[in-house]
Structure 1
Amino acid sequence: MGIPEKPWPTGLSEQAEPLVRRVLAPNPSPYTYTGTQTYIVGAESDVAVIDPGPDEAAHLDALMAAIGDAKVAAIMCTHTHRDHSPAAAPLAKLTGAPIIGCAPLILEVDGPRSDESFDTTYAPDRVLEDGEQMTGTGWTLTAIHTPGHTSNHLCFALEESGALFTGDHVMGWSTSVVVPPDGNMGDYMASLDRLYARADDGKDRVYYAAHGAPIEKPRQLVRGMIGHRRQRENQIVRLLAEEPRSIEDLVPAMYKGLDPRLTGAAGMSVKAHLLDLESRGMAQCSGDIWQTI
């Protein structure tokens, strides 16, 4: 999906539903769409801020204006890529709120990066275990562990409305990039299966992702994402059955008409699939050449 034409609602507080507002950060890119969406959950008395975003003065000013006189009960991060968590520390300093959510993670990745790098400043006051909750006046947020995009990724379920804040695990404009060694395709697929089961049980009415529009048919989208990943896996297996290939050979064979700026992202996703196939005894690598077993 292409990036929509401007103007975008950067810096504006938009009401998504009675307990949810969003503020778009000024960090558009081929990997962040129109920018990172920070969500403010709660009413006038106390709120939680989900994915405070990049440490940009204009974005912090917009968040403080949107928060107004409310008490910030928690600053909550889904994961620690640099477009999601760096504003946590300065926002905590401005509001006195604790940083609560995903675990810290610092990882150096060799080779070209196709996604935002990790935030080395992130220091949570409390890490939420799967199923743990944060509560405020009229709102309850439950942590749902969804590793895959990153090993520390969380989603947050708003129990009062059936909204799920999906970070980068499920987005409203593109599939998530899975970058090894921290990103893990097997974990990502298992997390998709978990979200599909929740949607199938009617637990999640709508997804609010960090990038892109609200997802109003979550079950349908997640089913499609699972199918898309399985198709990519089958495509890799088929191509390797024809002849052993490197990742550099696989990418152009798999992604026709790919934007050159996204070649690195495609390569990382292919590598994630190959490592998952290797872990399942279906592929092996010699040097940089992969083949089926």
Structure 2
Amino acid sequence: MNGAAPIGDGIFQIAVPITNNPLGHTLVYAMESPNGLILVDAGWDDDNGWNGLTAGLAEIGHSVKDVEGVVLTHFHPDHVGLCGRVREASGAWIAMHRSDFDEFELMTAARDQEFLNFHRQNLINAGAGPSDVAAFELADAPQAPTTSASKPDRILNDDERIPLAGRELRAVHTPGHTPGHVCFHLEDADVMFTGDHVLQKTTPHVGAFQYPMEERDALAEFLASLRRMKSMNITRGLGAHGIPIDDVAARSDELVAHHEERLSHLHEAFGDDELTVWQVAERMKWYKPWGDISPLGKHMALAEAAAHLRHLVARNLAVQVPDRAPAVFVRVE
């Protein structure tokens, strides 16, 4: 997919490239507003992404200077990265939910020795062995994926209305993929911009990145957000990646069922063993054998395993064994 196109209901879709990433693009959406354009997300922060965004805007008869504001679904760099360049070119405001502001600060932190030391200890807390820790360190990106120039300057609240030309977007807080993930409902068209919360062909990543166990139950948040989405009975969804969603409610149901199945499988996979978070990840089902997954892939899988384990603990289906380092967990019948 390349370029930009009108997709009906006054919505323009712009495919902004993500360099060297299998996702290929972030789909940015543009709609006319009282003072120009509102964008849903902005895209990856490099010249390739910038050229894709500016060329796409030109294809729909606009310039980046026409952008009045950017509403962000969440803090990930393929969504927020270009905000700094957009704001510099147009004076646009940038809005994101409060719960993702702290996460944005972490994303732009320097990849210095303190950063590496934290992640090394975090992996040790998960039960990773020396060779696995070393593999992560070798694979670690030397630079932050975006800069503080892209920091949002407005807070988005649940149910906030963003003025468009003769209509409005409604912000719908849908935590799970990130703490402050927001979808945007174009009510007059029965369309939901779903960001990375609901995707037609892909199961969004839900992870817990602090080991052995975060206070936040990200998977519980995600499941509750999916049920909220289902209750809204919206037909058409436009995600940040992939094809449009034909039935948002039905797809939300499918995603809930997927995670319930994964939770059930993980509970059974424990057997009678005591497992570290790393061993939990090894026993979960992935798209390929655990040993064949890249260090970065294992990083994402480990976080997803930790989120599922955290939710089993919340459901009283697993428990942490006291006074063990690294921490271990056992199944509860």
Choose the corresponding residue for 2:55, options 62, 70, 80: 62
Percent identity over the alignment is 25
Unpaired runs of 5+ in structure 2? 108-117, 124-135, 211-215
Aligned to 2:283: 253
Deviations 1:13-44 (A, max 9, x none): 122213111111221666x6222111112389
1:124 to 2:152 alignment = yes
Aligned to 1:190: 224
Q: How far off is 1:170 after superposition?
A: 1.2
Q: Which has the higher helix share?
A: 2
Aligned to 1:154: 182
Q: Please tell me whether the aligned partners of residues 34 and 212 of structure 1 are also in contact (alpha carbons under 8 angstroms).
A: no
CA distance in 1, matches of 2:272, 2:145: 37
Q: How far off is 1:291 after superposition?
A: 0.9
Amino acid at match of 1:290: F
Q: How far off is 1:132 after superposition?
A: 0.6
CA distance in 1, matches of 2:331, 2:146: 36
Q: Please tell me whether the aligned partners of residues 283 and 291 of structure 1 are also in contact (alpha carbons under 8 angstroms).
A: yes
Name the SS for the 1:14 alignment partner: strand
Aligned to 1:4: none
Aligned to 2:331: 292
CA distance in 1, matches of 2:227, 2:20: 29
Aligned to 1:25: 16
CA distance in 1, matches of 2:200, 2:145: 22
Aligned CA distance change for structure 1 residues 257 and 161 (closer, same or farther; 3 Å): closer
Q: Please tell me whether the aligned partners of residues 14 and 29 of structure 2 are also in contact (alpha carbons under 8 angstroms).
A: yes
1:171 to 2:199 alignment = yes
Deviations 1:264-288 (A, max 9, x none): 3222211101112223333123434
CA distance in 2, matches of 1:17, 1:132: 24
Choose the corresponding residue for 1:51, options 31, 37, 41: 41
Unpaired runs of 5+ in structure 1? 1-7
CA distance in 2, matches of 1:15, 1:276: 41
Structure 1 vs Structure 2 CA RMSD: 2.7
TM-score (normalised: structure 2): 0.74
Name the SS for the 1:84 alignment partner: helix
Q: How far off is 1:133 after superposition?
A: 0.5
Deviations 1:47-73 (A, max 9, x none): 210110112331342244246168433
Q: How far off is 1:178 after superposition?
A: 1.4
Q: How far off is 1:235 after superposition?
A: 0.9
Aligned CA distance change for structure 1 residues 162 and 291 (closer, same or farther; 3 Å): same
CA distance in 2, matches of 1:37, 1:260: 27
Deviates more, 1:59-68 or 1:49-58: 59-68
Amino acid at match of 2:44: P
Deviates more, 1:215-224 or 1:64-73: 64-73
CA distance in 2, matches of 1:176, 1:198: 20
Q: How far off is 1:186 after superposition?
A: 1.2
CA distance in 2, matches of 1:118, 1:188: 25
Bigger Rg, which one: 2
TM-score (normalised: structure 1): 0.84
CA distance in 2, matches of 1:28, 1:44: 33
Name the SS for the 2:17 alignment partner: coil
